Amino acid sequence: MLNRRRKKQIEFGKRSQSKGRYQNLGSAGLQNNILSEVGSSSLSPHNTQSLVNVSQNEMLRDYESRTKLLFDDIEPVLKEILSHQTRSGFKRWANEQLFLHLGVKLEEAAWDMDESSNSYSFFQDLFSQIVFKQFLRMSEDFFNNDPLQGQNRKEAEEIFREAGIHALDITPCADGRLAHFISYVLRLPYSVARRKAHAGALFDVSESVRNWVFIEHSRFREGMPNNAAEPTRFLKMAVYHYSKVDPSHQGCAAHGSDDKKAAEAAKAKLQDFRQAIENRFGCGSTVETMLIGLNTDNDTLKVHIPNQQGQVCLDRYIETDQLYSNATNMSASEARVLIESEIDNCNLQKNSTIPRPELKKLIAWLVTNNFSQIQYVKEYEQGLYEDIGHAERFIGIGNGFEEVQLRNLCYYSFLDTIEEGVNDIDVGIKIFKGLNVKRGLPIPIIIRCDYDGRVPGSKTRAVEKARRIEKAVHSRYQELSSCGLLQTMGTLRDNTGARPAEKLI
């Protein structure tokens, strides 16, 4: 759906008040002002839902609004600028207007239209360059200023540790409507979880096993994130999605909008992962698994409750929208008791055992966090997203992309090679043919390859990998590439700290 594209008239030479709000994206001063105004954890005593974090909602809304504007204003601003190509000193003026309205500049040479090109391809090139500039700007702000407070993970880590969990690995669907799952839907610090998105949540079991091995090795050798002697487990979470408003069309594209098929496929992957660990390393290496369904219409959840042995069942679940409604006008303590009671009742009514007490408390905490997101959608989206379908601004492929924490901003798919991730990319291209190509806009694809700055040659290998993926993308989608409707930018990031992405030269 394209109704997220804002229709408006740009008045040039003047800076609107709204533009002034995000003109300084990347300024630590702006972020500090936001945090001082709205706080970080206070709850509204007047809210009918006592567990809703009102001030956090205000902070998250501000970030979402100003960040998405950076991308949504590109098309109208650029078209208006190009309508003045005949004016004297156009290149300098164009850059001034671009910076005034979007906060970025291009090389002056970018405004020279090649004699062999036409206005159509000229617009496509400029549009993509600006999208890429805005992404790099967003990445710098995200890692340098931590606008979502995602680097503050101590409290969340303690809660997971109390639940017997030492590491969290989340695989959502690559669909952009799930990109905010960690920071918004579950209200977790992005740094507390490893995220690898795949179309249909169909993650590579072998890759997940390798990550488990790395985590467990770190526990043995370094005592990180905790000592291997502690009786804690690795938690693997898979997130499928569905739509209640339009279930036949707005569900998961990778599963033909079949909710049951999507849930079954994610559950099967979790079972395979658990079995792989136990078969290879013994039953003492058992992992925890969690299956969650996300209603992309309004960010409510279907949480499948595990039994005492950690097994999940598609028929055993609680729905957070119903719990939210039932907890209205209750005190915070009463609401928490209700949530934990419903978790137990869910299994008892299906003649199953209740989950481990520690895991039950963890699930209850995640449900509580989701209450704030339910209220967020009620307050800022009138209870239902206007863009219940796809409305992503660009495609991201590779690894990392921690800075993408907003709904419908990016279709992101984890991959090491095009061959491994071809199905995921094909789904993304199909989506963007409807979003961009049919409107004459190019498909911007950002390639990310992270590296470990402590390892000799790691950056060089990341550069080679990024270039290899970029070349393969243009080769596979040659028809789109040859006419300028597919544009790419390779990026790198040192993942040993909070460092922003860097453009591959």
Enzyme catalytic residues = 175
Backbone φ and ψ for 275, nearest 5 degrees, come out as -65, -40
- Calculate helix-pair angle for 54-72, 119-145, nearest 10 degrees: 150
SS3 content of the chain, % helix, strand, coil (to 5): 50, 15, 35
User: Residue 51 contacts by C-beta under 8 Å, 6 or more apart in sequence?
Assistant: 43, 327, 332, 335, 336, 368, 371, 372
Q: How far apart are CA 351 and CA 356, in angstroms?
A: 16
Quote the CA–CA distance of 327 and 51 in Å, as a whole number: 9
CA–CA separation, 113 vs 118, rounded Å? 8
Class of residue 9 by CB neighbours under 10 A (exposed 0-12, middle 13-18, buried 19+):
exposed
Q: Is 271 left (phi over 0), alpha (psi -120 to 50) or beta?
A: alpha
Q: Which of 42, 72, 73, 45 lies closest to 58, judged by CA?
A: 42
d(CA 488, CA 125): 10
Give me the sheet containing 502-503, strands edge to edge.
Answer: 410-414, 394-398, 443-451, 486-494, 502-503
Q: H helices then E strands: how many in the chain? A: 15, 11
User: Does a cis peptide bond (omega within 30 degrees of 0) precede residue 306?
Assistant: no
What radius of gyration, in Å, describes the C-alpha atoms of the chain? Answer: 23
Nearest to 67 by CA among 293, 403, 440, 432: 403
CB 501 within 8 A of CB 491: yes
